[in-house]
Amino acid sequence: MIDPKIVLATVFILYGIGMYCLMKRRDLIRLLIGLTILMDASNLSFIFFSSIKVPGYVDPLPQSLVAMIIVIDGCIIMIGLAISLLIYHKYGSVDIEKLKRLRW
């Protein structure tokens, strides 16, 4: 079995990268990538904590929930990419700071 410290360190690194992408990047595509990294980190931690109770046994409920979360994450990213493509075609940029100035 993998050492829990390694898995938790990986989860925290992924959370850190995802939060950095959400806080510092001002591009819609990079924000969507950061959101995907956060979802992957939460899925990894969910599977890890579900398998830690009994060694060698993994509960099927968290695995099915993670499969559903992966599908929902894919749909969210697909819709976000479609919206950012439409924004790029209409305004010529996907920079959030430039799009904020387009308010009424």
- CATH code at 4-100: 1.10.287.3510
Structure tokens at 50: 């579900």
Indicate the domain borders of the chain: 4-100
Structure tokens at 98: 């430039």
**pLDDT 10s digits, 6-45:** 999 999 999 999 999 999 878 889 999 999 999 999 999 9
Cα separation, 7 vs 76, whole angstroms: 26
How many Cα atoms sit within 13 Å of 81 on the Cβ side? Answer: 9
**pLDDT 10s digits, 54-85:** 777 878 888 899 999 999 999 999 999 999 99
- The amino acid at residue 6 is I
